[in-house]
Structure 1
């Protein structure tokens, strides 16, 4: 059984990687190896690390809600679980014994733009604008300049990077529950993951200081962290949205600028 090494974890979890890690036979979702739970891990953060739906990964390992795990517990990544019947299906990707790039590996198809069901109020400041997409009301976590957009090719970026000053407030993009608050995912620095519903999670990386705790319910617009540069080379907020474990472009969910 292949054990994921610290080196492999490093290249699998960075916010931006070289194009080879965009290969879907190598990039998350990962369906090979195993993960040994360390102190501070949650099932949500492990699923995030390996690009898996937390419900599917829990089911694959016999872990039921509220998804309690313990240090030393082995999470099998080579098992594929089930998600509820009403959940959208995630494209199946086969296990890979040799995660090297192949010229014949097909590229994942981009997901269609989500439907906006309530338009933002353009008469208010951008920092207070919100719009409803996929039954969730979203707003910008920070209104600084977007300096790097979502990309699945070239320099892969699983979210967007937003410029800011050290200490700027980072706000929750939508109501939800904090399912991870820590610095255990390489390349993300001080990271917060918020669960919004059974399909959607959002993440806020590189914070100088985390102001919320795991298990805490947060409201849209609530300050959850201070912007910083942990795990990266300059002050910025790295923001991601994941649908059923898969990264999606956050821009269609956020109010247009």
Structure 2
């Protein structure tokens, strides 16, 4: 009787624990098989670059290039943007084209060369203080104003009004400030192309930026009215805006000049007296 009981117990163990053991082994195999599966690889692709890109607030040249997977030096060369690669809100940049850039040297500003040509003076007609730009042949009257010739460009004063502050980087004055009344005319200081005419930079109010040859850019800030749009070609002495106090605590024009991306004293190139 005792032997039958022991035999029955051994049979029960075989019938119960053998399937249970096989189930555990099966689960273990699945568990290890799952752990050995290959991990998924996440990839990030650059956006497809458009032919032309319009610069938005907060953009930088390197940031735009990284976004579309292009070389920022190539973009700078295609668009004629010199070091330190300053761009402006509203500016159109070409992102597609040919040409590989190994390096982009930074030339010294033309105005700093010892061989800069001497200042020549003469008189040219300027428009009246009306609202119509000088490009319109119906201007009712003209003015005369002294000019200077620097870097192959003819320069005129952007305003005939009195100077209220001169270039002083230590006081954060990076140009010349002219006083006056709301509506006083503001003129293009030299021939060039308008690359920005908007109020996206609040501290400058209504701002006009003009790009000239030889790496010069001029800025005209705090206007009450802008008479030109981005992309327009203007002549020296052409009225481009009216004086105001947008972005400032008084009526004035803040006039700045940049040579190869660096602010310089406007008195070095425009007639002051």
Q: TM-score range by the shorter chain?
A: 0.5 to 0.7
Q: Normalising by structure 1, what TM-score? A: 0.59
Determine the C-alpha separation between the residues in 1 that align with 2:248 and 2:172: 15
| C-alpha contact 1:40 1:182 (8 A) present in aligned 2 | no
Paired residues in the alignment total 178
How far does residue 186 in structure 1 lie from its aligned partner after superposition?
3.0
Gaps of 5+ in 1: 1-37, 48-57, 74-80, 91-110
Check 1:150–1:68 CA distance in 2 against 1; reply closer, same or farther (3 A cut). same
| C-alpha contact 1:202 1:241 (8 A) present in aligned 2 | yes
Runs of at least 4 residues off by over 6 Å: 122-126
- Aligned pairs for 1:26-65 (under 5 A) are 41=56, 59-60=72-73, 62=75, 64-65=78-79
Query: Which residue number in structure 2 is paired with residue 132 of structure 1?
Result: 149
Deviations along 1:88-123, one digit per CA (max 9) or x if unpaired, are 148xxxxxxxxxxxxxxxxxxxx6799353411379
Determine the C-alpha separation between the residues in 1 that align with 2:191 and 2:174: 22
1:184 equivalent to 2:185? Answer no
1:88 equivalent to 2:107? Answer yes
Determine the C-alpha separation between the residues in 1 that align with 2:54 and 2:247: 19
| C-alpha contact 1:114 1:253 (8 A) present in aligned 2 | no
Determine the C-alpha separation between the residues in 1 that align with 2:115 and 2:165: 21
Determine the C-alpha separation between the residues in 1 that align with 2:168 and 2:144: 25
Check 1:218–1:123 CA distance in 2 against 1; reply closer, same or farther (3 A cut). closer
Determine the C-alpha separation between the residues in 1 that align with 2:192 and 2:157: 15
How far does residue 152 in structure 1 lie from its aligned partner after superposition?
2.0
Gaps of 5+ in 2: 1-52, 62-70, 81-90, 96-101, 127-142
Which one of 220, 243, 246 corresponds to residue 259 of structure 2? 243
Q: Normalising by structure 2, what TM-score? A: 0.56
Deviations along 1:184-213, one digit per CA (max 9) or x if unpaired, are 113110000000114100010000011001
| C-alpha contact 2:190 2:212 (8 A) present in aligned 1 | yes
Identify the structure with bigger relative contact order (alpha carbons < 8 Å, sequence gap 6+). Answer: 1
- Aligned pairs for 1:1-257 (under 5 A) are 41=56, 59-60=72-73, 62=75, 64-65=78-79, 68-69=92-93, 82-83=103-104, 88-89=107-108, 115-121=116-122, 128-153=145-170, 155-257=171-273
| C-alpha contact 1:41 1:184 (8 A) present in aligned 2 | no
The structure having more radius of gyration, on CA atoms, is 2
